[in-house]
Chains A and B, each alone.
Chain A
Amino acid sequence: MIAEFGLAALWLAAALAGLQLVAGFMGMRDEDEVLARLARPAALVQALLCGLAFLTLLWLFARTDLSVALVANNSHSEKPMIFKLAGAWGNHEGSMLLWVTVMAVAGGLIALVERRLPERTMLATLGAQAFVGLGFYAFLLFSSNPFERLNPAPGEGNGLNPLLQDIGLAFHPPTLYFGYVGLSVAFSFVVGALLTRQVTPEFARVMRPWILGAWVFLTIGITAGSYWAYYELGWGGWWFWDPVENASLMPWLAATALLHSASVLASRDALRAWTVMLGVIGFSMSMVGTFLVRSGILTSVHAFAVDPERGSFILALLAINIGGALVLFITRASTVAEGERFSILSREGALVVNNVALSAVLGIVLLGTLYPLLTEAFDVRVSVGPPYFNPVSAIFVLPMLVVLAVGPLLRWRKDSFARIRMPVFALGIIGLLVLAGVLLTSTIDILPLLGLVLAAVVMVGSFLPLRGRSLRRLPLAVWGMVIAHFGAGVTLFGMASDTAFQQERLVAANAGDVVEVGPWQAVLEGVIPVAGPNWNAMEAQLPLTYDGSEAGEARPQARSFWSPPQETSEIALVTRWNGQLYVGVGNQTEDGRWQLRLWWKPFVTFIWYGGLLIALGGVLALLGRLSVDVRRRVAVRKIADRKEDEAAFVQEAGA
């Protein structure tokens, strides 16, 4: 009965989305006031019902109800509770239900609290949200029903793969989904604003927290995904330009561009069409990402062609939503009056450079990701990898970083170079000093060299906007910007430093052998067998010294799981402030020696510190915006109250 209850709730939620759609769009045209009043409550009830459906699924997984196909296929009665629950969204059907639920809750939230926009625009936004939502409800109900029963119910579930019981793996996908869905909300606002011709600064202000939220989640998701690949794959790489990684990077690039152009629109009423366009692109990239990951097209184009139901469904949704939005954009773009003008040497001008560069990088990543899939369909297999992505995207990223360091110093609308001459010279000198320093001490490739120089310039430049301002009275949003920009410099520094200076040692060692890598010395003391709950391992014990002084021990393992049989390499990481030692152990050679792999990766950790700083900056900016909003609401209410009091007083006096 529980599963049927969940399914019923889902159907009802879909029906309410239908109601929200009709009410929103009819209300928008001022055709029916009664209907219009239903839009907001419909969104709220839809959120509740959809949330209920998701809770039902969680409950089914918690109880391990094996008569439900999804539970039987993905869970097991012996799993720890946290992984039973995470199993609810660790599969196709459940993750789509999570997607729809987050989207419905976001819609309910807008309906509940958002009152700044003209009501017609809000109705159109809610209508658009319901339209996008209905597509996903249809997807769930017709081709990916999570509540499908299995008869007869099996005695035990199938999902005890211990390799998938990883806390990072459990929370990584939902993090990205939150980001994707946040962009869907921005998309709905864009459609609403276009339909009612209300592309205003107020619209940008209302949309901005949603973009910021989505962006923070995407940033965290990408950072965590990168670190996971780094320690799990065992060869020291942290970004592979893998299509799955690109699927999360593309929405992030779009969201970053959108964030910046929305702030221009909010503060200066410029870049109207750009912002709208980026809103459409942002959600398109979320859907492209979902399509890439969920359709199975990445394993093989041909496998996708054999069972194309799900992929085609997402593709159709993508075509309808994005195609519709683009047609709307083209027909309305001319009526979106051009925004305020500005000189190229202004804050807006710098942000235009940011937008153009990010969009171009997005185009390159999209091209490099989709092109091999396209040619594979014609049986021509090409590989597009780091030697393509790195230099080609650098064409745009490097100039953008220069502008990033200087842009925040500029004033809105129009500025003169004379005013910022001093800080620009200072940054230039810092860049030249780093360049000279690196060139004198080492020979490295051009890209990491430029990366190091620009990292220094960006890190210093990000703090310059604080010059001459009272730190205590600085708005939270400005702090957010400073920290996020600083984080970008930190990440860049980590990437460049690891690429340029990492040292690798691959050796076959006997017990007692000493391995040197960079400033580290490791002694292979011995290799002992270790047993875990579902694996055996050979563990190498390597006492370490750093620059001659003792520095702990590394204990990498070569693990063999027995159910299902699989070999994994559990690397050992020794973290110092200035980098990480990365140690892996492989197989035994015929003459009894052990394969050891050691990397000294200077400042590699800064890649992820920077990612976290960027996310922190986003959170601060979000809090700043929200607190300003709340304060304004309180002020508005106080004024209203006072007016009422005065009116009452006047009446009394008159009586």
Chain B
Amino acid sequence: MKKLLLILAMLLVTPLAAQDNLPPAPFAYQQLEDPELEAMAQDLMITLRCLKCQSQSIADSDAPMAGDMRHQVRTRIAAGEEPEAIREWLIQRYGDYVSYQPRVKASTWPLFAIPALLVLGAILVLRGRLRKAK
């Protein structure tokens, strides 16, 4: 049983390993000529998660997959796509997990509601202190 699992696991791993052996895509390690476009790409890349790393953006990683994603981002920016459209495309492909910038939706609203409550709470506490002093 264990051997079978091992073989299955290896079958699963092979395509990935093969992918890792390919040379990196051209724009994985190369910047765009136009500094403005490159800055735009950079701003987007630091907000995209490297799916194979621990808490690194694709702009911070040596992982081949991060390199491929950088290539995608740079070529699409160069082709004139809007950064948010590229983010959208990546999210459709890899899920919300790929974007470090959570959007307000059914599964994420507490991330925005709680800070708003914190702001309110902070104001109330400070106002309370102010009034007491009088």
A118 part of interface (Cβ distance < 8 Å) = no
Interface residues in B, total, Cβ within 8 A? 41
In the bound complex, do residue A383 and residue B98 qualify as a contact, i.e. CB atoms below 8 Å apart?
Answer: yes
In the bound complex, do residue A371 and residue B110 qualify as a contact, i.e. CB atoms below 8 Å apart?
Answer: yes
In the bound complex, do residue B59 and residue A396 qualify as a contact, i.e. CB atoms below 8 Å apart?
Answer: no
A235 part of interface (Cβ distance < 8 Å) = yes
In the bound complex, do residue B122 and residue A396 qualify as a contact, i.e. CB atoms below 8 Å apart?
Answer: yes
Which B residues between 32 and 55 are near A, CB-CB below 8 angstroms?
42, 46-47, 49, 54-55
Q: Interface residue tally of chain A, by bracket?
A: 35 or more
Q: In the complex, how many angstroms separate the beta carbon of B30 from the nearest chain A beta carbon?
A: 6
A381 and B56 in contact, given A364-B118, A368-B111 (Cβ under 8 angstroms): no
Partner of B96, one of A383, A504, A508, A590: A383
Q: In the complex, how many angstroms separate the beta carbon of A361 from the nearest chain B beta carbon?
A: 9
A392 and B96 in contact, given A242-B54, A344-B130, A349-B129 (Cβ under 8 angstroms): no
Partner of A388, one of B46, B57, B102: B102
B122 contacts across to A, CB distance below 8 A? 356-357, 360, 396
A244 contacts across to B, CB distance below 8 A? 55
Alpha-carbon gap, A587 to B21, bound state (A): 12
Q: What is the total of A-B residue contacts with beta carbons within 8 Å? A: 123
In the bound complex, do residue A243 and residue B55 qualify as a contact, i.e. CB atoms below 8 Å apart?
Answer: yes
In the bound complex, do residue B46 and residue A386 qualify as a contact, i.e. CB atoms below 8 Å apart?
Answer: yes
A235 and B61 in contact, given A242-B54, A385-B101, A387-B101 (Cβ under 8 angstroms): yes
Which B residues between 50 and 71 are near A, CB-CB below 8 angstroms?
54-57, 59-62
A568 — nearest CB in chain B belongs to which residue? B62
Partner of A506, one of B31, B49, B114: B31
In the bound complex, do residue B23 and residue A352 qualify as a contact, i.e. CB atoms below 8 Å apart?
Answer: no
Alpha-carbon gap, A298 to B53, bound state (A): 12
Alpha-carbon gap, A586 to B28, bound state (A): 11
A344 and B118 in contact, given A388-B102, A587-B24 (Cβ under 8 angstroms): no
A356 and B101 in contact, given A506-B31, A586-B62, A590-B23 (Cβ under 8 angstroms): no
B107 — nearest CB in chain A belongs to which residue? A380
Partner of A352, one of B29, B30, B129: B129
Alpha-carbon gap, A298 to B55, bound state (A): 10
In the bound complex, do residue A381 and residue B96 qualify as a contact, i.e. CB atoms below 8 Å apart?
Answer: yes
In the bound complex, do residue A363 and residue B118 qualify as a contact, i.e. CB atoms below 8 Å apart?
Answer: yes
In the bound complex, do residue B29 and residue A586 qualify as a contact, i.e. CB atoms below 8 Å apart?
Answer: yes
In the bound complex, do residue A505 and residue B60 qualify as a contact, i.e. CB atoms below 8 Å apart?
Answer: no
Alpha-carbon gap, A235 to B66, bound state (A): 12
Q: In the complex, how many angstroms separate the beta carbon of A232 from the nearest chain B beta carbon?
A: 12
In the bound complex, do residue A381 and residue B97 qualify as a contact, i.e. CB atoms below 8 Å apart?
Answer: yes
Alpha-carbon gap, A590 to B23, bound state (A): 8
B110 contacts across to A, CB distance below 8 A? 367, 371
B118 contacts across to A, CB distance below 8 A? 360, 363-364, 396
Partner of A395, one of B101, B119, B126, B129: B119
Q: In the complex, how many angstroms separate the beta carbon of A402 from the nearest chain B beta carbon?
A: 14
A595 contacts across to B, CB distance below 8 A? 29
Partner of B59, one of A235, A357, A589: A235
Which B residues between 97 and 134 are near A, CB-CB below 8 angstroms?
97-102, 107-108, 110-111, 114-115, 118-119, 121-122, 125-126, 129-130, 132-133
A382 part of interface (Cβ distance < 8 Å) = yes
In the bound complex, do residue B96 and residue A387 qualify as a contact, i.e. CB atoms below 8 Å apart?
Answer: no
A343 part of interface (Cβ distance < 8 Å) = yes
B56 contacts across to A, CB distance below 8 A? 233, 235, 237, 240
A569 part of interface (Cβ distance < 8 Å) = yes
A342 part of interface (Cβ distance < 8 Å) = yes
B95 part of interface (Cβ distance < 8 Å) = yes
Alpha-carbon gap, A367 to B62, bound state (A): 29
Alpha-carbon gap, A21 to B48, bound state (A): 51
A341 part of interface (Cβ distance < 8 Å) = yes
Which A residues between 4 and 43 are near B, CB-CB below 8 angstroms?
none
Alpha-carbon gap, A507 to B59, bound state (A): 15
Alpha-carbon gap, A235 to B95, bound state (A): 25
Q: In the complex, how many angstroms separate the beta carbon of B74 from the nearest chain A beta carbon?
A: 10
Q: In the complex, how many angstroms separate the beta carbon of A455 from the nearest chain B beta carbon?
A: 22
Interface flags, A215-243, vs B, CB<8A=1, else 0: 00000000000000000011111001111
Q: List 12 A-B contacts (CB under 8 A).
A: A234-B62, A236-B60, A241-B55, A243-B55, A341-B132, A363-B115, A364-B118, A367-B115, A382-B111, A385-B101, A504-B31, A589-B23
Q: Kindly list 16 other residue pairs between chains A and B, CB separation below 8 angstroms, not including A506-B31, A508-B29.
A: A240-B60, A241-B55, A298-B54, A342-B133, A349-B129, A352-B125, A368-B111, A375-B108, A382-B97, A384-B102, A385-B49, A385-B100, A386-B100, A387-B101, A388-B111, A395-B119
